[in-house]
Structures are given as C-alpha cells and as structure tokens.
Structure 1
C-alpha cells in the first residue's frame, strides 16, 4: 500500500468487478435467449453498475475510507436502480427493441451468438470501464473532502436532470393527443437531451470521488471522457437525432433548442414578412 491507495487490492477488486458486470450481462443474455428478445439488456445496464459498486464496496472493506466507499456505492445504486426501473416501465408489454431487431437482422450466423458479442459482452466491458471511478473511490483511504462533496453535488444535479427529463417524456408519450409530436416542453425546451446531459454531469461527479490522489484521477478520467463521447458523438445524441431527422417539426425544434447544455430556447420562427 502507498499513500492511501492499495494498488494490489484494487487490481484484485477490479477483476472481481469485471466478473460482476459480466455475470449480470450473461444472466440477462440467458433470459433474452429464452424469451426471444434482447431489450432486457437495457434494464441490466444500470444494474451492472450497481453490482460492480457493491462488489467494490465489499472487497475494499479493510482498504478504503468507509465514508467514501459508502458514498460511491450509494450514489451508483440510486442512479442504476432508478434507470433500470424507468427502462423496465417504459418497455413493459413491448416486443423487441427496433434497434436490436435491425442489428440482429444482419447477423451472419446465429442471432444469439451475434447478440452475445455485439451487445452483452460489449456492454459488460463498457460498464466496467465507465465504473472505474467508483471502483477506485472504494479503495482510497482518504477522508471525504471538498472534491468529493463537489462530486456529490454534480451527481445530484445530473441525476435530477436525467430523472426529470425521463419523467416528463414518459408523461408526454402517455397522452394519445401527443402521438407523432415533438416533445418540446419542460426541460426538453431548454435542451434536446436532458437525459444525456444528466448522465454527462453525474459521471463527472462520480469521477471527482476518485480524485483524492492524482494517480487515481489519471487512471479513472477515461470514464467521464468515454461517457462524454458516447452521449454526444457515439450511440447517444448523434444516432437519436439522425433517427428523428425526418419527423415533422424536428428541424424547427433543433433550431430553437440547445443541442446539449440547457439554455433558454430561442424564439420560434415566424411565417411571412
């Protein structure tokens, strides 16, 4: 052990955490194959982080600061369980997710093995990498300080933004009168992606829990950088907007609404001169 961080224990714990992430994904894969749909993996996404967090918490019992360990595990759990519950409610009664149906229709062989490689194993690896700040925070034997508290505030702001955005969108879609319309109310009038912006904020917040030492900060900064890329340039904002591009009214919504960071909406375009 050196300077408040046990690298050997962290390495062992990281391997166990990878096992926890893949165990959650493989269990979901078995359910998906049995039921003939793979949309359940979206529910498991948040739960895989929760499994990693509590694996790290348990194995770091004699290595890390108790307050930091508990805070890291608790914040991750609140986010992961809320997200899983939201996705489960949203998908109740639906068939396969169109994204996975399109992907699996291109499978060169077994659809199940293709899904295992392209969805479950990939998401298991991503969950492990993204959760590195949570894992490292559990092994930091440093009392909570200003950076950790600032991280908790960022996490709270991000989680609130994500939860409120999800709730507003769910209520909007539940009204039959809104079918085919663009959601441009509440938080969605300030940013086209309150859920993605919330995820961006909360992972930078969780990263700050691992910043009590420069070495752990350097090791784990890949997490918020990867999340930032995914929600803005990868599978998040970019793909969703490409899918929405042909919707009536979406171009006008894009014109007046911030693409990511919440900002007061611009005035609607007027017709005529």
Structure 2
C-alpha cells in the first residue's frame, strides 16, 4: 500500500530531505574547508530521493522500478566517481577557489544545488507518487518506454566514458600546457555536459540545462581553461583546438572548423560568454577568475 507523506506528489518530503541533506554537506564543506564532499553529496542525494520514493510508493511495476534504478545508478556513479577522483588526485575544484572561505557565497551555491537536485529528481518523484502511481498504465514496453531506456543508456555511457577519459588524462599529464583533445573530447570540449543536457531535455526540466549552459557548468570551465592555456604560453595551439572542436555538441573537427562563427554560436551553442580574446579580455578575465 502506497504511503502518503505531506502531499500526493511527494514534493514536500523530498524538498525537506534535500534541504537537510545539503545543509549537512554544506556544514562539512565549510567547516573542513573542502569541496571533496560537494559532488558526492549531490549525486548521493539524487539516489537517496529515488530510493525513498520507491519505498514510499510500495510499487513493483516495471516502469517505476526501471526509472528509479536509472536515477539511483546515475546519482551514485556521479557521486562516487567525483569522490574517488578528488581523493585520488588531491586536486581541488577550481570553481570553489573563491567560495570555500566565504560562508554566504558557499551557502548560495548549496541552495542552487538543492534546487537542482530536487528539480532533476521530479520525474521519478512524480512517477512514484500516490497521485501518479495509481493512474498509470502499468504495461511496460511502449515506444516511449523503449526510447527512454535507449536514451538513458546512450547518455550514461557517454558521460561515464568522457569522465574516465578526462580522469586518466589528468593523472598522466606532465605539463599545464597539455589539454584534453582525444577520445570523445576530440569531438566536443564538454562531452559530459552534452550527455546531461541530452538526458534532461526529455527526463527533467529546463533548470539543469540553464545551470550547465549559463551558471556552474560551461561559464566556469570555458574561460578559465582559455586563460590557463594563455598564461602557460600555449595560446596558438590551444586556439587552433578551439576552432576545430565543438564547444558542446559532438561533431567531427574537420567539419566543424570551416563553419562560420554564426553557425557555431547558434546551432552549436558556442555563446560569446564562453569565448576569450587575449587582446581585449585578459585584464577582465584575470579579475574574475
């Protein structure tokens, strides 16, 4: 029998659980002055919501079980991989260089993470909720079911492979001038972000896409990486890499390079906020990064 908690959609209880869980992670991160637990706290929170809502629903229907398992697997892989990577390399996340010691700024980051976690979990939360659970067609195997499974597997593999390739590269590189340009990263400068956006375009709301494109994803990775290569005296080679490699959507370098900048900026989402011009932006970039 389905358990009713707070409301028929489990919105209240999942929000409360996320709030408490993330505040605990925030306090650990701020007290110990470390971001080691941050990404693990995000991924594990996503998995926790899936586990709890399927327990509350008391459901044994195939569609709910598969969707819930997918969310658990995705959340745990992300969280555990990020934790292992941080412990293995000992390298901090550059995004937190200015946040780590600032209570207010770090708290704002965690508030955004709370919203992100709760929002991307909504599809499974709704699916397992009493209001939706009782009215579902429980026969699994429709076209949308099959497409959903294929999309998840495709995206999960791209994200996992891209993260692994980047991790191996970072453990083996010997110079700051080296940058990732092989494997999936030869076709996209951020194949792991493309996977997330491809998945959430169907499985979760617009919020995740906005975060990756305009907040804590691309903006905090693109320009800092450009400035790093410029400072390392590697701008000529790196700028050639930028002109040949799609910013987000995987595409053959030989076809991407001759495309007009207008096409790159629109169809391939290489927005002006990601671009770095040493002649005009160096002072501003150094002040913001």
Aligned equivalent of 2:206: 225
CA spacing shift, 1:252–1:268, aligned 2, 3 Å:
farther
Report the Cα offset of residue 170 of structure 1. 0.8
Structure 1 residue runs of 4 or more that deviate by more than 4 Å after TM superposition:
none
CA spacing shift, 1:9–1:72, aligned 2, 3 Å:
farther
**SS across alignment from 2:216:** coil
Aligned equivalent of 1:99: 95
Report the Cα offset of residue 10 of structure 1. 3.4
* Deviation string, structure 1 residues 6-40 (Cα, Å, up to 9, x no partner): 9x9533x1111112222321221232244232441
Report the Cα offset of residue 264 of structure 1. 1.1
Aligned equivalent of 1:119: 109
Q: State the alpha-carbon separation in 1 of the partners of residues 91 and 251 from structure 2.
A: 36
Correspondence for 2:120 among 125, 130, 150: 130
Q: State the alpha-carbon separation in 2 of the partners of residues 191 and 231 from structure 1.
A: 15
Report the Cα offset of residue 179 of structure 1. 4.1
CA spacing shift, 1:142–1:20, aligned 2, 3 Å:
farther
CA spacing shift, 1:25–1:152, aligned 2, 3 Å:
same
Is 1:264 the counterpart of 2:252? The answer is: yes
**SS across alignment from 2:85:** helix
**SS across alignment from 1:262:** coil
Aligned equivalent of 2:265: none
Aligned equivalent of 2:220: 239
CA spacing shift, 1:120–1:239, aligned 2, 3 Å:
closer
Unaligned runs of at least 5 residues, structure 1? 1-5, 208-222
Unaligned runs of at least 5 residues, structure 2? 258-289
Correspondence for 1:31 among 1, 5, 28: 28
Q: Bigger shift: 170-179 or 185-194?
A: 170-179
Q: Bigger shift: 25-34 or 162-171?
A: 25-34
* Deviation string, structure 1 residues 169-220 (Cα, Å, up to 9, x no partner): 1111111435431100000001111110111122235x2xxxxxxxxxxxxx
Is 1:175 the counterpart of 2:172? The answer is: yes
Q: State the alpha-carbon separation in 1 of the partners of residues 238 and 148 from structure 2.
A: 35
Correspondence for 1:15 among 2, 12, 36: 12
Report the Cα offset of residue 263 of structure 1. 1.0
**SS across alignment from 1:72:** helix
Question: Is the Cα–Cα contact under 8 Å of residues 37 and 95 in structure 1 kept in the other structure?
Answer: no
Aligned equivalent of 1:79: 74
Is 1:46 the counterpart of 2:34? The answer is: no
**SS across alignment from 1:239:** coil
Task: Give the root-mean-square deviation of aligned CA atoms.
Answer: 2.5
Q: Normalising to structure 2: TM-score of the pair?
A: 0.74
Q: Normalising to structure 1: TM-score of the pair?
A: 0.78
